[in-house]
Amino acid sequence: MKKFATFLLFSIFTSLLLQAQPERIGAGLSFATKKRFNGGDTGNPGLNVRTWIPLDKNKTFHIVPSVSVFNPLDTRPTPAWIVTTYMFHADLDVQVKVFQEKTLKIAALTGMNYTHIISRNEVLIAVPPSQAPVDSTLSGFGPNIGVALEMRMSPFIDFILSGRYNFSGLRAGDPSLNEKLLVAPLSAPVIQVHAVYYFTSRGRGYSRR
């Protein structure tokens, strides 16, 4: 089921990018709270790439697909081995402009997040098979919600600061494990900064786009 969902999300990304006409493209950094998995911790920062696809003539609504690849982090839980943890985020958001004044714009966003964590072990000292570390992966889908502050720097360039909360891995809680009604083991707040390039100039004057 997870493989099918991953394939479906990738297909949506590809279809949108091939059929639509992106208005702009952005690249920047993502910072997420660390997640502990299989004896290791996820690292920061992540490299994020995204694009904006307008849905209406006034460009108030956009579809925003993005991908983040986080810095791998080495952890040494014991002297016998090193755990390297990789983390990836894929997001598909709907963004709506809620405020605009001169060169400043505020947008709200919501959508779906896919988080994937990979744990790889490097054994430094031989240990009994029963104690040997095991490579593992963890992934999950969930909704997200956030806000973005967009600042116009030139006819072609914007600077964006955004924050979101991912409820990744959202599922019903298990009463037998004393869990809450809903749990999201991969949930995390994420802060992002981007430099954005517009494919066409917005002119010298301010455009209400």
Tokens read off for 204: 């010298």
Residue 79: predicted pLDDT? 82
Amino acid at 21: Q
Residue 106: predicted pLDDT? 97
Question: How far apart (Å, rounded) are the C-alpha atoms in residues 75 and 120?
Answer: 10
CA distances from 132 to 83, 124, 157 (A): 12, 11, 51
- Which residues of the chain have a pLDDT value below 70? 1-20, 172-182, 204-209
Residue 166: predicted pLDDT? 95
φ and ψ at 125, to 5 degrees? -130, 135
Question: How far apart (Å, rounded) are the C-alpha atoms in residues 198 and 41?
Answer: 36
CA distances from 187 to 23, 34, 74, 116, 170 (A): 30, 10, 22, 12, 8
Instruction: Decide if 73 contacts 41 (C-beta within 8 A).
Output: yes
Domain ranges of the chain: 23-198
| 39-88: pLDDT as tens digits | 899 999 999 999 999 999 889 999 999 999 999 999 888 888 899 999 99
Residue 209: predicted pLDDT? 46
Residue 202: predicted pLDDT? 81
Instruction: Decide if 156 contacts 201 (C-beta within 8 A).
Output: yes
Instruction: Decide if 66 contacts 27 (C-beta within 8 A).
Output: no
- CATH of span 23-198: 2.40.160.20
